[in-house]
C-alpha cells in the first residue's frame, strides 16, 4: 500500500513527496525530529513530544513550522489516512533551504521544512522482542555534546546498532568517561535490590518522553528510583535492566556485553513497568 505522507502543507502519495536537494536537513543534518507511537489508532504522549520539539527548535534558533494544534491535526490525519492502529508517526523539521549550500544559516524568514510520515507496526505493544528481552553491548559514546536536542545526526547511533548486530546483540549502550549515557535510541536503566538506577537529565542524554512517564509511574507504584551516573560494570552485576523509548516502550535487557542478567529472561520490574506504561498510555492517548 502506498503511504500518504505530509510535506510542507500537502498530503501526498509517498512517491510524489519532494524536498529540495539544498535543504539543510539533507546537507548539514540541520534538522530536528520526533517519533510518536500510536496504539489503538491514537497518539501516545503527544503533548510531551510537541513540547520537546519546541525546545529542540528553540535551542537551535530554528523557526517553528506551525502551532501545536496544527501538528496534532496533521498527526491525526496521517494516522487516519494510513489506517494505523499500532505504529509510529515520524516528524522532521529542518531549517529549510535558500537554494544553495552555505555553512551560514539562511535568513531568519526562510521557511522551515516540515515532513511527517507514518510507520505501520502491527503488534508493537505485544512485541515478541519485549517478551524475549534485548541483548546489548557497550561502545564508546563519541556523539556531540548536545544530545538533549533531538537532531537527526544519527550516523553514530546507526553505526552502534550495526556494531551490536555484528556482535550478535540487539543494541548498544553508549559509555562516556566510564559512565553509561544512554542506548543508541533509548534511555538506559538497571535494577539492583529493587532500586531503579538511571542517569540524571543533562545535555549528555535525550530527555526521553517515555523516561519521564515511566519514572512517574514507577514512583507512583512506590518503586525506589536513584538518578545518578552508573558504570557498565554495575549494570552487568544488576538483577535486571531495561530501556525506554517511544518506539519500544519499556524494553527488558537480558544481557550486557555477553553477561547474562538474572536468569536471562525479562525481569519483574521491567515487565511490570511495561504493563503499567502501556495501560496508562492507552488511557491518556489522544
Ligand atoms: N529515539 N535517547 C535517544 C538517543 C533516543 O534517540 C531516544 C528516542 C530516546 C528515548 O526518547 P523517547 O522516550 O522520547 O522516545 C532516548 C527515537 C524513538 C528514535 O530515534 O526512533
What percent of the chain is predicted at pLDDT more than 70? Answer: 100
197: three-class secondary structure by DSSP: strand
Residue entry with cell 544481557: 255
Q: What average pLDDT does the segment 18-22 reach? A: 97
Separation between Cα atoms, residue 228 and residue 234, nearest integer Å:
12
pLDDT computed for residue 208 by the predictor: 98
Q: Which residues contact 117 (CB under 8 A, 6 or more apart)?
A: 3, 5, 6, 14, 78, 89, 90
pLDDT computed for residue 26 by the predictor: 98
**71 φ/ψ angles, rounded to the nearest 5 degrees:** -60, -45
Separation between Cα atoms, residue 168 and residue 90, nearest integer Å:
28
- For the stretch 103-114, pLDDT in tens is 999 999 999 999
Q: What average pLDDT does the segment 66-86 reach? A: 98
- For the stretch 267-283, pLDDT in tens is 999 999 999 999 999 99
- For the stretch 216-253, pLDDT in tens is 999 999 999 999 999 999 999 999 999 999 999 999 99
Mean pLDDT of the chain: 97
Q: What average pLDDT does the segment 185-214 reach? A: 98
Ligand 1 centroid from CA 99, angstroms: 31
Q: What average pLDDT does the segment 10-19 reach? A: 98
Q: What average pLDDT does the segment 198-203 reach? A: 98
What percent of the chain is predicted at pLDDT more than 90? Answer: 99
pLDDT computed for residue 1 by the predictor: 74
Q: 130 and 249 in contact (C-beta within 8 Å)?
A: yes
Q: Is the CB of residue 208 below 6 angstroms from any atom belonging to ligand 1?
A: yes
- For the stretch 102-159, pLDDT in tens is 999 999 999 999 999 999 999 999 999 999 999 999 999 999 999 999 999 999 999 9
Q: Is the CB of residue 138 below 6 angstroms from any atom belonging to ligand 1?
A: no
**Residue located nearest, by CA, to atom 5 of ligand 1:** 185
Q: Indicate the Cα dihedral angle 269, 234, 228, 191, nearest 10°.
A: 10
- Residue 49, pLDDT > 90, answer yes
Q: Three cell numbers at 211?
A: 523516561
Ligand 1 centroid from CA 234, angstroms: 23
Q: What average pLDDT does the segment 84-108 reach? A: 97
Amino acid at each position: 500500500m502506498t503511504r500518504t505522507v505530509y510535506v510542507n502543507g500537502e498530503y501526498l502519495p509517498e512517491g510524489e513527496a519532494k524536498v529540495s536537494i539544498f535543504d539543510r536537513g539533507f546537507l548539514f543534518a540541520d534538522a530536528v525530529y520526533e517519533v510518536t507511537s500510536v496504539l489503538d489508532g491514537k497518539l501516545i504522549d503527544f503533548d510531551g513530544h510537541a513540547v520537546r520539539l519546541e525546545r529542540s527548535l528553540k535551542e537551535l534558533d530554528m523557526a517553528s513550522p506551525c502551532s501545536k494544534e496544527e501538528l496534532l491535526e496533521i498527526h491525526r490525519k496521517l494516522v487516519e489516512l494510513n489506517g494505523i492502529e499500532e505504529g509510529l508517526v515520524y516528524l522532521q523539521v529542518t531549517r529549510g533551504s535558500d537554494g544553495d549550500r552555505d555553512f551560514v544559516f539562511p535568513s531568519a524568514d526562510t521557511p522551515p521544512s516540515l515532513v511527517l510520515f507514518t510507520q505501520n507496526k502491527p503488534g508493537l505493544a505485544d512485541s515478541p522482542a519485549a517478551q524475549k528481552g534485548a541483548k546489548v553491548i557497550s561502545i564508546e559514546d563519541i556523539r556531540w555534546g548536545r544530545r538533549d536536542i533531538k537532531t537527526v545526526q544519527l550516523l553514530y547511533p546507526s553505526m552502534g546498532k550495526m556494531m551490536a548486530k555484528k556482535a550478535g546483540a540487539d543494541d548498544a549502550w553508549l559509555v562516556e568517561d566510564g559512565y553509561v549515557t544512554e542506548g543508541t535510541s533509548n534511555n538506559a536503566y538497571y535494577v539492583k535490590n529493587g532500586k531503579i538506577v538511571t542517569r540524571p537529565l543533562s545535555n549528555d542524554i535525550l530527555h526521553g518522553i517515555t523516561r519521564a512517564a515511566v519514572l512517574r509511574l514507577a514512583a507512583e507504584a512506590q518503586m525506589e528510583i536513584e538518578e545518578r551516573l552508573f558504570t557498565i560494570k554495575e549494570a552487568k552485576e544488576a538483577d535486571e535492566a531495561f530501556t525506554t523509548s517511544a518506539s519500544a516502550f519499556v524494553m527488558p535487557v537480558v544481557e550486557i556485553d555477553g553477561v547474562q542478567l538474572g536468569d536471562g529472561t525479562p525481569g519483574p520490574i521491567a515487565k511490570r513497568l511495561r504493563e503499567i506504561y502501556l495501560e496508562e498510555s492507552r488511557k491518556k492517548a489522544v
